[in-house]
């Protein structure tokens, strides 16, 4: 059983253990593989409106996501999220759980839509999940992501209205 709750500063050590290998791999997030822990803390825990953790039945943090305004001012009704599941916990529906949770939370926070700005085209599992959740690819950014193994690949902009 997975539960999702707001992250606390004390969760950072576990959150960092989940996101660091993903950032270092350079295959799905645009952050530098050389990102420092302090830079990552700011990006994941400080800048967002809210950061959450997914916790298993034993209390272990197995995933994390954040919600933030995608743009300031007149674009602030559209949110952006980033999700990462622990390598050891993948394939257990945690990303699905966090995505569903994030949409409900976004509406409660006053957001009307959700936009993923930079979904790497080779991240087929994420694309499948977002499309299952009714996100549409609304744009392709040709060669926009410098994949650490494959070189330059496309990135997608994906969008979903949360409230009509």
Distance of CA 132 to the CA centre of its chain: 16
Q: What is the pLDDT tens value at each position of the chain, 164 positions in all?
A: 899 999 999 999 999 999 999 999 999 999 999 999 999 999 999 999 999 999 999 999 999 999 999 999 999 999 999 999 999 998 889 999 999 999 999 999 999 999 999 999 999 999 999 999 999 999 999 999 999 999 999 999 999 999 97
**Three-class SS string for the chain?**
CCEEEECCHHHHHHHHHHHHHHHHHCCCCCCCCCCCHHHHHHHHHHCCCEEEEEECCCCCEEEEEEEEECCCHHHCCEEEEEEEECHHHCCCCHHHHHHHHHHHHHHHCCCCEEEEEEEECCCHHHHHHHHHCCCEEEEEEEEEEEECCCEEEEEEEEEEECCC
Sign of the CA dihedral with 37 first, then 99, 52, and 2 last? negative
> What are the boundaries of each domain within the chain?
3-161
Model pLDDT, residue 1: 85
Closest CA relative to residue 66, chosen from 43, 97, 33: 43
Model pLDDT, residue 73: 96
Model pLDDT, residue 22: 97
Q: Thinking of the domain 3-161, which architecture would CATH place it in? A: 3-Layer(aba) Sandwich (3.40)
pTM listed for this prediction: 0.94
């Amino acid at each position: 059983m997975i539960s999702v709750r707001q992250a606390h500063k004390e969760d950072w050590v576990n959150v960092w253990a989940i996101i660091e290998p993903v950032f270092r791999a350079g295959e799905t997030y645009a952050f530098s593989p050389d990102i420092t822990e302090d830079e990552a803390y700011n990006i994941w825990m400080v800048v967002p409106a809210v950061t959450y953790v997914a916790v298993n039945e034993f209390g272990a943090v197995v995933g994390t996501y954040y919600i933030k305004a995608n743009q300031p001012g007149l674009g602030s009704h559209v949110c952006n999220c980033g999700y990462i599941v622990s390598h050891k916990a993948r394939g257990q529906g945690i990303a699905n759980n966090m995505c569903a949770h994030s949409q409900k939370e976004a509406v409660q926070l006053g957001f009307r839509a959700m936009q993923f700005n930079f979904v790497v085209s080779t991240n087929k599992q994420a694309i499948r999940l977002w499309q299952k959740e009714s996100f549409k690819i609304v744009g392709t950014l040709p060669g926009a992501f410098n994949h650490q193994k494959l070189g330059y690949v496309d990135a997608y902009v994906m969008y979903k209205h949360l409230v009509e």
